Structure formats: structure tokens, C-alpha cells
Amino acid sequence: MFTTNQSTLNYPYQNADLKISERIEDLLQRMSVYEKIGQMTQLDITLINTTGKQKDVILDPEKARDLIRNHHIGSFLNGEAVKPGTWYRFMSELTRIAVEETRLGIPVIYGIDHIHGASYLEGATIFPQSINLGATFDPKHAHNAGWVTAAESFDIGHHWIFAPVLDLGANPLWPRFWETYGEDPYLASLMGSANVEGVQKNDDIRPLKQAATGKHFLGYSDPRHGWDRTPAHLSMQQIHEFHRPSFQKAIDAGLKTIMTNSGEINGVPVVASHDILTKLLRDEMGFEGVVITDWDDIGKLVDLHYTAGNYKEAVYSAVQAGIDMSMTPEHLEFNKSLLELVDEGRITEERIDQSVLRILKLKFELGLFENPFPRDDRFHRIGHPENRQKAFEAAKDSIVLLKNDGNLLPAKQSKRIGLFGISANSKRNLSSGWTIAWQGGKEERYPVHMHTIYTALGEEFPETEIKLFTKDDVPDAKTITDSEKKRFVNKLNSFDLLIFAGGEEPYCEFTGNISDLSLPKDQLNLLKLISGSETPVVLILVQGRPRIITELIDDLDAVIHAGLPGFEGAKAIAEVISGKVNPVGKLPFSYPMHPNYLVPYNHKKSNLYSFDPEKANRIVKTNDSPSLFPFGHGLSYTTFSYSELKLSSEAIRQNGSIKATLTVTNTGSRAGTETVLWFISTHVGRITRPVKELKHFEKAHLHPGESKTVEWMITPETLSYPDENGRKIIEKQSYSLIVNGLKRDFKME
């Protein structure tokens, strides 16, 4: 048996007193080319576990030994939710092989999709998905999600978190829309960088660190036809203005790794694009960390994009474009091809060293050489009540009250509530994908303590009979006769309130591709049926993207967008319905009016060419966009008024600024939190400008009758936007400051 006891070796790279750069230099010159290429390779857990199935986190030591000792593989990924002890044993054995049974003892780094809490760890705290965190307009929640994820997953040996998704939620058809923070680049920038800091600057795991991953770089989220990994056509100016900011802010916050967009932009797959991965990401945006491909992105150059005739050519173009590590992840072709390319001199060892240096730097910075092994003495932190409370706070702040006719909500303590819909008694629908398993787990795998909307309402309304209507209890809308309909509707008249919890079942990536954003027909039909009764109807939308409900919006008394609120979400929903929680959430996206009319709030002026607002069936009168509910919309159980919007001057000079002030008043009868959204509208621009752009937001917590003056400094930087080369343009133009319908004009001199 080949073993080395690392403690007997005293190479400089093992000396923690030396600078990381010195340790890397020493280690690199000791490595063979094949050992270096092994560090550039990430393989899936199915190649090292006993069954070849994602769900089995049980190491097959022989498989692991072969890959680590003979092929020097430096990274692995994936798995499913198992107990902490199971991960601990798996990572302990995997790490022991790497650090004790190899010539140089380089520790492995394990990557995993804990995107909203340690989602592949049984008992972990699970936050709302990012689309809900965007709805809070509070970076604190994104920071907490990152922090808790790191605190709960670090000890079991997960040092590389494949989050946050920094893609812009530009296309609500896209099946990964719910993984984004919504359609605004400024909001996504603040939320994404806060999450990165929560993961990477977590004192609970100090002096060690965990790496976050900005993904999927870039322009992945706006495929022309809405389906996952299909072509996007984006000008470089659009990329700089809309898709770059969230990555840039995360990089400026110290982001350690980036994952590539598997798709193509303008005919060039990102993984093969030197312009994107080197000129833009490294030279212009200053990223110095590790770039890993997404799942088999190199293989996709051969069998999806057909830009490489064979796998070896695909490796060549990806490495030349600038990737550092290949998420290969189910074979060894990457290693073998790259070794051949180096032997042939088509790829230099200097190029290999460039990537291996970054990978080793990552491992040294995370402290893996000093502390490679997991630990099992702090599992009590997993799912800790304080962590779950943070997730609960985020869930409560993420619920958006879209409509509330006649102040139906908060619901009085009724006698009888009828509860319908696919999400009424579902745990899995509350979190969708990347939870317990890639596509979401089976219902029975969710925590026993976790509420569904049904059980949470039961707790919130203890004196009320809540009748759960299962599929069998409701007539088939397709075959129902008039007399059956009459009987059924009469039955519903005996209830005080009807709640329909619908939306979407879990999906992840391409399994969520759809060709119609409308709420599915069976749900629309049942909603129409129950709306035929005299009893008021509340629709709760548990969904990853805004399914269209325009055709029946007038029949609904109240609508709640619950999104994907996570494991604490049902309780948050129930407390909004009971009024214990005064809803705070605002839409981080424009809620579309029609399936083929998907227009974001920051659309161009020409988007409204021939648009007739009178014909638009818009519920929100202040809505100035062609949506059913506009970006930033969200009702409260109190009311707020905005007044006295003032500017300290009507002109900004080159190095100057002007102060904007505004008074917000709680004009209702209960305390509430208002999110004040400050927009800038540019009147004329060399490059067409969005009708308005979110530039600042803040919270105002107000008691009834209380007023608060909020203020914000506008600078020339605020007014800048990028040209096609990413260079900032500041134009001496006239502008408007817009806040909740109030407007003040000013100009740049």
C-alpha cells in the first residue's frame, strides 16, 4: 500500500508560516503535468460512491483511491440531502486518501449546490429561494442566507458553495428565473454581493473560509425563446448594462470563484469565448479567482453547440478561452485530452500553471492544507433555532400582497375555510429545485417539523374548521355538468373564505422549460369554478416564476405572491393571512399581463410604441408599465403617503451632487414597513435609455401617523451608463427623479 505520512515531509509548501505565493511556487514546481491537470478536473460523486447514484453519499474507497492517486483529481461535487454524520464519514475518508495516500497530499475541494441553505444536508436551515430574497429588497436576508449556509455546511467538509446565481431575471419564462434576485441589475448586485460576503466572510468558521461561486457567467438568463441553455442574442452594451453589474459587485466583494454559462451568446458558446472569459472577466472586470465550467460544458461544445468537432478540440478551445477547472464531470476525457494537448505543445505548461496556481491559491486561502478534515463536534449548529429564525424572517419579508379588495385580508377568525390547490398541503412546492435533491425531494424526505400551508393555517386559525379539498373532492372542470356545478358552488357558499394555493410543482433547469407562462389550465378552471360562489377567494401563488392569471384577476378578492419561501415559508404565509405579519414584500420583477408580452419595468421607451394604457387591464392604477402588477408593487395592511419630494438643486455639476429628500407617512391604522424605491429617468441618451432605472432603495418602519424624511445623494456616477465597450457615459442631459409617482426634474451641467 502506497502511503506517505505528510507530517514527515517538510516541504516549504507545507509551512503555514510562509506566504501563500511562496507555498504555491514551491508546490507547483514539484508537480508533474498530469498532477497539475488533475487539479483542473472536477468529477461527480457518482464516480466515487458505492452505487453510482447521486443519493448515496457512501464512499467507494477503491474508486476514490484510483481517481485521486492515479489521476490526481483535485475536486468532486454533488450528492443529496443526507445526515451530517453521513457526509462527515464520506468527506473524512475522501480527504484522508487525498492528504495521506498521495505523493504531495494536496487536499480535495468539494463543490455543492447549497443555494438557499445547506440544501443537501438533512436538518439544515432552508431559506427562501433567491427570487423571494429579491422581493424583500433587503440585502441582510441574502447575507444571512450565505452566513447560515456556511455555518451549517462547513464542518461536514463542503468548502465550495455553488451560489449565488448572479444572473439577471430578465425572462420570466426561463426555468431558472427563481434562482435569480429578479429583473433589476442594481437589486441583484446588492443581494448577490451580500450573499457572497455571508458565505466568504463568516466568522463562525474563522480562520477557515468557504468559497462562493458567481454563476453563470454571463448572459445565461435571457435566452431568446426562454428555454434553458438555448441561444441568447445580447449586444455587448446590454451585457455591460444589465448582466455585468451583479457579477462586478460580487467580484469587488472578493468573490473567489465563477461558474460559466453553458449557453451561447450571439453564436459563441461562453465556454469557448476568450472575449468573455478572459478579456471581459479578467482584463476588464478584474476577476482573479477560479473559473469552473458548468456541467459538461466542454462536452456541450461538441454535442450541443457543435463548435468543436471532437472532445479534444473542445478542451483546447475552452482552456484557451480561459477556464481553470472542468466540471467534467463523469469521465476522464478532459485529463487525457489536455495531457495530449500539452505533450503536443498546443497548450503550454505555462498556461496550465496559470490555472493550477489559481486553484492552489483557492485551497490555501480556504485553509484546506492546514485543516483539510471535516469535524463532527458542532453538528448542533445545523438547523439551529436562531438560524431557522433568520430564514423565517426572510420568508415573512418575502411574501408579496398583490391584491386585497375590500381589505379582505387579514382574514377574520372565520368559522370555515375551504383550502384548495396543488400547494395547499405540499412541502416540496415551497422550495422547488436544489432542495434535498436536484429536482426537489420526495414529499416524505422533507422535515417532519416543516409546515405546509394547510397545517400552518390550522395553527394560525385554531378555532376555524379548515377543509382541505383534495383532487378527489373537486369535480373535473372538463366534465362537470351544470347541476354538479350548481351543487358544488352551493356547497362553497357555506364557507367564510376560500383559499386556493396553486402555482408550480418543483423543477430545476431544463425540466422546467415551458411554452406558455399562463397558470396551468386545470388550476385556472378550478379557480373559475370556485370563484362562482358567493364566498371570497384568496389566491396564493407558490411558484418560481409569475404564471399568468390576468383572465381571472377580477374574480379574485385577494392575491398573494408567495414565490418559493423555503422551509419556514408556510408559517410566513399563514401569518400574513391572519395579519400577525404585515406584508413587506415587493415584486422584484414585472408580473406579466399576457403570455407573449413579457416586458420588464426597465424597458425602452419604444417598447410602449402604440401601447394603449386604456386598453390594458391593469389593476394597479399607478402602474406605468405594461404589466399586470409592476416591478416594486406590494401592498401592506396599512397605507403610506409620499410627499415633499425635494432636490437641493436642479443641476448637478461634474464633481458635485444633489440631495433628494422625501417624506413618507404611515396614513393607516397599524405599523408597517415601506420600501422606498428611488428611480432615475434619463430624458435623452446616445444609447436608448430605460424608461426608468432603480438606483437606490431603503426601508421606512413607521407607526400609524408617523412620518419619516428619507434622503439620498444623487451624483454624476448615479447617472452614468456603459457604452458598447463598457466605458461609462455621463451625459449633460435632463433627468427625472421618480419615487412612487412623484417626480422632480434636474439636469447635469
Q: Which CB sits closer to ligand GLC, 281 or 347?
A: 281
Q: How far is the CB of 255 from ligand GLC (least distance, A)?
A: 15
| Smallest separation, CB 322 to ligand GLC (Å) | 19
Of residues 196 and 660, the one with the C-beta less far from ligand GLC? 196
φ/ψ region of 296 (left if φ > 0, alpha if ψ in -120 to 50, else beta) reads left
SS3 424: coil
Minimum distance, C-beta of residue 273 to ligand GLC, in the bound complex (Å): 17
How deeply is 245 buried, as exposed, middle or buried, from its count of CB atoms within 10 A (0-12, 13-18, 19+)?
A: buried
| 294 lies in the site for ligand GLC, by CB under 6 A | yes
Judged by CB, which is closer to ligand GLC: 114, or 571?
114
For the chain, the farthest-separated pair of C-alpha atoms sits apart, in whole angstroms, at: 87
- Site pattern 221..240 for ligand GLC (x: CB under 6 A): --------------------
The residue among 77 and 430 lying less far from ligand GLC, judged by its C-beta, is 77
Taking the complex as a whole, the smallest distance from the CB of residue 113 to ligand GLC amounts, in Å, to 5
Amino acid (1-letter code) at residue 540 = I
- Applying the rule CB under 6 A, the residues between 93 and 152 that interact with ligand GLC are 113
282 in Cβ contact with 241 (< 8 Å): no
Residue 320 φ then ψ, to 5°: -70, -30
Which backbone phi and psi does 741 adopt, to 5 degrees?
A: 90, -20
C-alpha cell belonging to residue 678:
428611488
CB of 228 to ligand GLC, least distance (A): 8
Contacts of 655 (CB under 8 A, 6+ apart): 716
Q: Is 403 helix (H, G, I), strand (E, B) or coil?
A: strand
Q: Are 586 and 675 in contact (CB under 8 A)?
A: yes
Per rule CB under 6 A, is residue 76 in the interface with ligand GLC? no
Between residues 90 and 162, which has the closer beta carbon with respect to ligand GLC?
162
Task: Reply yes or no on whether 167 is catalytic.
Answer: no
Choose, by CB under 6 A, the member of 34, 186, 295, 488 that binds ligand GLC.
295
**Toward ligand GLC, which CB reaches closer, 174 or 712?**
174
By DSSP bridging, strand 658-666 and strand 640-647 are: antiparallel
Helix (H, G, I), strand (E, B) or coil at 83: coil
Nearer to ligand GLC, 257 or 682 (CB): 257
Q: Which of 161, 159, 157, 179 lies closest to 169, judged by CA? A: 179
* Single-letter amino acid, residue 36: K
Minimum separation from the CB atom of position 433 to ligand GLC (A) = 10
CB-nearer residue toward ligand GLC: 124 or 574: 124
- For residue 232, the cross-strand partners are 265
From the CB of 153, what's the least distance to ligand GLC, in Å?
A: 14
Query: Would you say the C-alpha torsion 131, 133, 136, 142 has a positive or negative sign?
Result: negative
CB of 76 to ligand GLC, least distance (A): 11
* 107/111 with CB nearer ligand GLC: 111
Distance CA 281, CA 675 (A): 33
Q: Pick out residues in 509-548 that bind ligand GLC (CB under 6 A).
A: 509
Q: What angle do CA 432, 438, 441 make, to 5 degrees?
A: 65
Under a CB-based contact definition with an 8 Å cutoff, are residues 59 and 93 in contact?
Answer: yes
Q: Is the dihedral of CA 164, 168, 170, 174 positive or negative?
A: negative
Q: Which of residues 145-174 bind ligand GLC (CB under 6 A)?
A: 162
Total binding residues for ligand GLC by CB under 6 A? Answer: 8
Catalytic: which of 56, 184, 294, 397?
A: 294
> Interaction with ligand GLC in 245-274: which residues (CB under 6 A)?
none
Tell me the H-state helices in 201-332. Answer: 236-238, 245-252, 274, 297-303, 311-321
215 binds ligand GLC (CB under 6 A): yes
Q: What is the DSSP letter of 606?
A: G
Return the SS3 of 691: coil
Residue 557 Cβ, how far from ligand GLC at the closest point, in Å?
39
Task: Give residues in contact with ligand GLC (CB under 6 A).
Answer: 77-78, 113, 162, 215, 294-295, 509
Catalytic residues: 294
